[in-house]
Structure 1
Amino acid sequence: MDFKVSRIHNKIDVLNLEWTSGPSRDRVMATLVCNYLRRQGFSVGEYSVHDGLDEINELCPRLLFMTNTIGARENFEIMRYAVQRGVLGVSLIVEGNIREGDADLESAMIWGWNHDRVLYEDLHFQWSERTRRITLRQHPELKGKVLISGGVGFDNYKIGITVDRSEILRSLGKAEYTKVVGVGCWDFGIFYPEDSRHEVWGKYYDETAQKNFKADESRFHDLLEQTITRNPSVLFLLKEHPGVLLGRKASGIDGLDHYDNVIVLKNELPIDQCIAVSDVWLVYESTTALEAWLIGKQTALLNPSGRDFPRDVLHQGSPDYATSDEVCDALQYFFSNDTLPGFMERQGKRDSLIEEVIQWGDGLNHVRVGNEILELLRQKPPGPLKNENTSERLQRWRQHVRWMIKSWSADKSTPYGFSRQEVNKFASEMQVRQTAFYDHLGLKPMELLNIRAI
């Protein structure tokens, strides 16, 4: 049975749906693109995934834009719902450094929660020619729907990050520290059955690999703890992966926040600011190492069992330390000589990796996405939503009821921690930075239109 829709006119051109309202990784990417579309004269709304189905029904957008449709079941279902109702769809890829060489793992990174293995959206943007080649090798039928935008989130570093380190440390209650070591945590949670993602990702690693990763979680914890206790005058800023579901255990940092010289952050401070306030940036495995390179921060790997395990190519740009002695010696050398042992020797490799992984480091990847969205809107005339079927309407009602219940119980009208006021404030702040960046490059709105994806 089909139902007639209550709205037939498009209230906005583009609707963006994300999980967070604060300046998280996904929010930064989304707002960069949304602001560019506003600059070109289009109406854009940035709202919450958690009430996304009802937002689509009420606003009747011409196009739904999401930074990720495969990392969570909700995202995939929302995009499918929108497209089935006649809304245009565009998505980015968040974890875009697809690992090459393992067909099953490649496929997992392409599809994630999309068990249908149907690309419902009209356009999907990936980071590089390398990743599109991997995708089309497995799925040649996607040719024409998968474009290369470059890594949109990395634009933020080129546009410019302004931080007041003293103020941030003061706000974190750590103003007394003059040395800061940042640690970008990995998410070991996918190897635990209690993690909902284990169903998708766990099967792409054999039993031996899973056992080794779990052992490395413990070794990483011990290495880090020994380093922390041996450097009481250094503040260790531990930044959890935004997608971690099992907390600090899955990050390999359980109990480390008990030390005075440790601060653990997840969404409280965006990744760009975490990197910017740190003197050096350490990771087990993370694309945040590349982000650190873009703002001139030195990086190293904390790999207690060595760097030889299934991973992406970015590890080649950093020296690796396997023991607490190695880490402590390296940090002592850095704070005396402003360089990490083994880091400068890898400069040439880092330069090639930046191009290989994110294609363009010019800060204009969000413009490339925006221009393809504008072209798609130009090609497809606006129209009413298609009717919902019974299943779709029930799905929307269930989600909306949960949202309303959460709204009634949330403080300051922030259901699921999502505040429209916070979104608008961040968008305004970013628009100032973006405008200054475009002006610095001498690019007027009409000239920006010439910057295209491939």
Structure 2
Amino acid sequence: MKELNSTRYKGLCFLQEDIGRDVEIAIPIVFAAEHFLNCEVIFELKWNAHLITKHKPDFVIIPANCIGSLIYHKIAKYADELNIKIYSFISEGNFNTNINHNFFGFNNERHFYQDFVQCWSKRTLEYMSEKAPDQKDKYVLTGAAGFDRYVMYDFAQKVDFLAKYNKEKFEKVILYSGWAFGKVQYELGRVEISQDPDKREAKVNWVNEQRVIVRDMLKHAIESNPDTLFILKQHPAEYYPGLNVKQLNEMSELADYDNVLYVTGHVENIHDLISVSDILLGFETTSAIETWLMSSQPTIFLNSEVDFDRVDIYQGCCIAGNPEQLNNYIQEFYNTGKIVDFETDDLKAKRNEIIVNSIGFGDGYNHIRNLFYFNETLHRIDRKKIKYTRNKEFFRLYLFFKIMKPFYKIGLVNKLPWFSKFNWVFKRYKLEHVPELQAKYNPFIERFYKEQNLTKDTLLEFWKSQDLKTK
């Protein structure tokens, strides 16, 4: 095990959004890198990868394991060509290992450009080692860093949240965390639903059928409980920014009910919505694990059929197979303060098992486990080998958005059909929310370190206790 890095290094962290999942994962890791490892990290929009030639970083941080978007993959490849070290984290690491899962995503070369590929759990690490053994020396067990915030942070209070939306008359609040049913509306989404062309039509038809079933279950619950506020949260990856398609999913047709708050995009973080709710509903969602880490509130999946390809999170939840069963669970909770089916010893034990199998650890230290490999990556930097040459594709993208920015400011972009799809890029161009989130979250992380007595000395001791090592 190497000592903590002491050399002053500068890095770039590329993001698609300035709020949401990836930035939530990045902030604790970046804070720890700056706090313990003498680093400075600058955030940039992923479309501005050309700025590598301006900032001249020693390393780059890329979300989604360099595979979650084609641009991320290209940035990783570009950085590798420049001999810049790459550190990446996984955004969706709890995948089903009982089927043939494509964990390379957009990486058609099937080659990881980073030194370490973080796995959320031992289960997924073993799966990747079996399916792509040629790179198994890169696979490391870190846990899911994005889930640490449920242990470290303070979240929204119900009274404040309800006042924000003028919903103070409601005392009962139920959250539904959406599934990406809306992807069936566009071609790329249908490909993501099923990468097998021969099975795609059948899978899309099944998804459409399930969408209607879940919608009708939600509708029945909403109409049967007019004194309860239902927060319906759209899945963050359901639609791509700039996609000009009317949103149709399992909840969009229910948005106009008086006791419904339909939350789209990244307007609210899922952790705040969980915090203000009494019950979590879902079709299939890792928000159930987040709920278990934060509180003891019941989690209920709306599944007319249970046996389909998915991870085992549902085994720790109550299952409502029809509208009447869902409403019975709701009534039981508000009449007695609990749902008996959710409180069984078997289900409690299963939830603990699922946390280990899904996110590795639920102790708030996953970003610290990640930091071990970040430190190892820093020790492998060789500044003499780094070259900051221009990439033609990224340079053209950079010029395009620079040239179009004045037209965006005067509102012309919105009036041009072809250019309007880039409107979202200009809105996020400066990643304005990132420093706001850092100012909000960093004190929580620092408080956690103090409570845990996590210093440079005890950090090394923790790493040793975890038997973290490179292969």
Equivalent residue, structure 1, for 2:93:
96
- Deviations 1:16-46, CA, capped at 9 Å, x for gaps: 1111223x12111101100111102211112
Deviation for aligned residue 1:384: 6.0
Equivalent residue, structure 2, for 1:47:
44
Deviation for aligned residue 1:294: 0.5
2-side partners of 1:138 and 1:20: how far apart?
A: 31
8 Å contact from structure 1 (residues 182, 239) kept in 2: yes
Sort the Cα spacing of 1:449 and 1:312 in 2 relative to 1 into closer, same or farther, 3 A.
same
1-side partners of 2:388 and 2:294: how far apart?
A: 49
Sort the Cα spacing of 1:348 and 1:410 in 2 relative to 1 into closer, same or farther, 3 A.
farther
SS at match of 1:328: helix
Matches within 5 A, 1:179-258: 179-192=172-185, 194-204=186-196, 205=199, 207-245=201-239, 249=247, 251-258=249-256
Equivalent residue, structure 2, for 1:424:
435
Of 21, 25, 29, the residue aligned with 1:29 is: 25
8 Å contact from structure 1 (residues 82, 88) kept in 2: yes
1-side partners of 2:155 and 2:410: how far apart?
A: 30
Deviation for aligned residue 1:314: 0.8
1-side partners of 2:258 and 2:32: how far apart?
A: 43
- Deviations 1:95-154, CA, capped at 9 Å, x for gaps: 111201222xx1x2x111112211122222110111011111010111221211101111
Equivalent residue, structure 1, for 2:298:
298
2-side partners of 1:249 and 1:431: how far apart?
A: 35
Matches within 5 A, 1:40-79: 40=36, 41-51=38-48, 53-68=49-64, 69-79=66-76
Equivalent residue, structure 1, for 2:370:
369
Equivalent residue, structure 1, for 2:276:
277
Q: TM-score, normalised by structure 2?
A: 0.86
2-side partners of 1:377 and 1:320: how far apart?
A: 46
Equivalent pairs counted in the alignment come to: 434
1-side partners of 2:342 and 2:228: how far apart?
A: 21
Deviation for aligned residue 1:190: 4.2
The one-letter code of the counterpart of 2:383 is P
SS at match of 1:212: helix
Higher mean Cα deviation, 275-284 or 76-85?
76-85
Question: What CA RMSD, in Å, does the superposition of the two structures yield over aligned residues?
Answer: 2.4
8 Å contact from structure 1 (residues 25, 271) kept in 2: no
Deviation for aligned residue 1:76: 1.3
8 Å contact from structure 2 (residues 152, 364) kept in 1: yes
Sort the Cα spacing of 1:410 and 1:21 in 2 relative to 1 into closer, same or farther, 3 A.
farther
Q: Is residue 380 of structure 2 the alignment partner of residue 379 of structure 1? A: yes
The one-letter code of the counterpart of 1:447 is T
The one-letter code of the counterpart of 1:352 is E
8 Å contact from structure 1 (residues 300, 319) kept in 2: yes
SS at match of 2:362: coil
8 Å contact from structure 1 (residues 112, 200) kept in 2: no
Deviation for aligned residue 1:417: 2.7
The one-letter code of the counterpart of 1:161 is D
Equivalent residue, structure 1, for 2:285:
286
2-side partners of 1:169 and 1:373: how far apart?
A: 40
8 Å contact from structure 2 (residues 158, 276) kept in 1: yes
Higher mean Cα deviation, 215-224 or 237-246?
237-246
Sort the Cα spacing of 1:451 and 1:416 in 2 relative to 1 into closer, same or farther, 3 A.
farther
- Deviations 1:214-234, CA, capped at 9 Å, x for gaps: 210111111111211121111
The one-letter code of the counterpart of 2:352 is D
Higher mean Cα deviation, 161-170 or 438-447?
161-170
- Deviations 1:30-86, CA, capped at 9 Å, x for gaps: 0110011110221111221121x1222211211111221222212111111111121
- Deviations 1:320-370, CA, capped at 9 Å, x for gaps: 102211111111111121212411121110011111111111101111112
The one-letter code of the counterpart of 1:283 is G
Sort the Cα spacing of 1:320 and 1:313 in 2 relative to 1 into closer, same or farther, 3 A.
same
Equivalent residue, structure 2, for 1:157:
150
Sort the Cα spacing of 1:166 and 1:200 in 2 relative to 1 into closer, same or farther, 3 A.
closer
- Deviations 1:252-311, CA, capped at 9 Å, x for gaps: 1122111111111130111110111111100100111100010113201011x2211111
Deviation for aligned residue 1:375: 1.8
8 Å contact from structure 1 (residues 241, 251) kept in 2: no
Sort the Cα spacing of 1:328 and 1:405 in 2 relative to 1 into closer, same or farther, 3 A.
farther
SS at match of 2:60: strand
Deviation for aligned residue 1:249: 4.6
Equivalent residue, structure 1, for 2:421:
none
Unaligned runs of 5+ in 2: 1-6, 412-423
SS at match of 1:196: helix
2-side partners of 1:60 and 1:338: how far apart?
A: 57
Q: TM-score, normalised by structure 1?
A: 0.89
Sort the Cα spacing of 1:159 and 1:215 in 2 relative to 1 into closer, same or farther, 3 A.
same
1-side partners of 2:187 and 2:340: how far apart?
A: 37
Deviation for aligned residue 1:410: 5.0
Unaligned runs of 5+ in 1: 1-9
Deviation for aligned residue 1:195: 3.7
- Deviations 1:382-441, CA, capped at 9 Å, x for gaps: 24643647xx32x01222123324543259998233544421121122221111001101
Matches within 5 A, 1:429-448: 429-448=440-459
Deviation for aligned residue 1:248: 7.5
The one-letter code of the counterpart of 2:251 is I
Equivalent residue, structure 2, for 1:175:
168
SS at match of 2:437: helix
SS at match of 1:342: helix
2-side partners of 1:323 and 1:70: how far apart?
A: 37
SS at match of 1:120: coil
Equivalent residue, structure 2, for 1:3:
none
